[in-house]
């Protein structure tokens, strides 16, 4: 997705802070609580609900807001805005996909090409016209004060912020709602095996070498937090050492990607630098500054640049699998 104007950037950052990522990238921590058994518990079935849990039978589940939701048998027209990474992982194609003014989630278009778009704020008229038979919402704020209206269009299941803010739990919950528990668990197993193998390759090829991920957008730099969004992947799952500057920035207020000055970047003691460049089309002026060229990783030629259309700003098995590929291609020679 192209991230070229400030209005679009602000929208995306806000969404990533609440959901991911940002996550991605990275909202809040998309990964560090992945093993929390309590939050991985199945959605509560309403009193008197059928014991059926397989797709093909209507079920009544209680969502993250305490709503009793009748999940239709074999829903075919699903809207799950900004949860499409999980749908793709489950082999499900939605009736429409998330969109902000300047684009969609480009990294998913191999699976979602041709799927109609739906504005990120879910306009009632547009949702109604799509005739969904199930709506799945991640963040509670998306439907705040409007839940009943959406629920009149189609059964609406809200994951709730606690689940939505952890991509692993969100995938499992979406899988449960769709009757695809086995597929969700398999997707995680496949991903975890890939991450484990990548960690071993990185440790062998670049033992003790640190890395950082930064995002250039609107002539400003942002650094991914140590344990949020893509940071949770780099440092938590892949075991890459954390530079001191990343630790400092991670302790400051903000979302997944936190503002950092060029002067502070000059102190970055990373051996490798992953650069997500949203300013490519406008000239990337900040990269011409003398202080940028003095950053150790830049001087040593260990900067790996990716477009804003890549998966680095998102979270999920699909997004992170692609990031793992990028890291291996860059560091493991």
Domain positions in the chain are: 36-187, 193-331
Determine the pLDDT at residue 12.
43
CATH number of 36-187: 3.40.50.1980
**How far, CA to CA in Å, does 64 sit from each of 39, 42, 157, 158, 249?**
11, 11, 8, 6, 32
Is there a common fold for 36-187 and 193-331?
yes
Q: Among candidates 270, 281, 282, 286, which has minimal Cα distance to 220?
A: 286
The 10s digit of each residue's pLDDT in 138-149 is 999 999 999 999
β-pair partners for 68: 62
Determine the pLDDT at residue 253.
86
Q: Are strands 117-119 and 97-99 parallel, antiparallel or unpaired?
A: parallel
Q: Among candidates 131, 151, 134, which has minimal Cα distance to 143?
A: 151
For residues 60-86, average pLDDT: 97
Answer yes or no: is pLDDT of 22 > 60.
no
Helices (H), 206-240: 229-231
CATH number of 193-331: 3.40.50.1980
The 10s digit of each residue's pLDDT in 275-310 is 999 999 999 999 999 999 999 999 999 999 999 999
pTM summary value: 0.83
The 10s digit of each residue's pLDDT in 101-118 is 889 999 999 999 999 999
Share of the chain above pLDDT 70, in %: 83
């Amino acid at each position: 997705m192209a991230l070229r104007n400030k209005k679009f950037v602000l929208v995306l950052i806000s969404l990533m802070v609440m959901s991911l990522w940002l996550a991605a990238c990275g909202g809040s921590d998309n990964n560090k609580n992945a093993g929390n058994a309590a939050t991985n518990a199945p959605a509560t079935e309403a009193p008197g609900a059928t014991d059926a849990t397989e797709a093909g039978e209507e079920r009544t589940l209680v969502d993250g807001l305490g709503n009793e939701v009748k999940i239709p048998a074999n829903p075919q027209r699903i809207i799950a805005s900004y949860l499409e990474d999980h749908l793709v992982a489950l082999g499900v194609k939605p009736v429409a996909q998330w969109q902000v003014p300047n684009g969609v989630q480009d990294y998913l278009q191999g699976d979602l090409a041709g799927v109609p778009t739906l504005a990120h704020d879910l306009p009632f008229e547009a949702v109604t016209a799509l005739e969904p038979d199930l709506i799945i919402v991640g963040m509670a704020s998306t439907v705040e004060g409007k839940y009943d209206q959406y629920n009149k269009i189609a059964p609406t299941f809200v994951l709730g912020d606690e689940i939505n803010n952890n991509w692993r739990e969100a995938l499992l919950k979406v899988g449960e709602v769709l009757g695809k528990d086995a597929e969700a668990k398999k997707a995680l197993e496949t991903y975890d095996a890939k991450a484990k193998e990548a960690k071993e390759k990185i440790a062998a090829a670049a033992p003790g070498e640190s890395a950082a991920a930064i995002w250039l957008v609107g002539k400003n730099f942002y650094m991914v937090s140590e344990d949020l969004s893509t940071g949770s992947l780099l440092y938590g799952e892949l075991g890459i050492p954390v530079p001191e500057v990343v630790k400092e920035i991670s302790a400051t207020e903000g979302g997944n990607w936190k503002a950092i000055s060029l002067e502070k970047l000059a102190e970055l003691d990373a051996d490798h630098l992953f650069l997500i460049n949203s300013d490519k089309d406008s000239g990337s002026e900040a990269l011409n500054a003398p202080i940028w060229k003095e950053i150790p990783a830049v001087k040593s030629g260990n900067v790996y640049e990716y477009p804003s259309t890549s998966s680095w700003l998102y979270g999920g098995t699909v997004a992170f699998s692609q990031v793992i590929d990028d890291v291996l291609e860059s560091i493991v020679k």
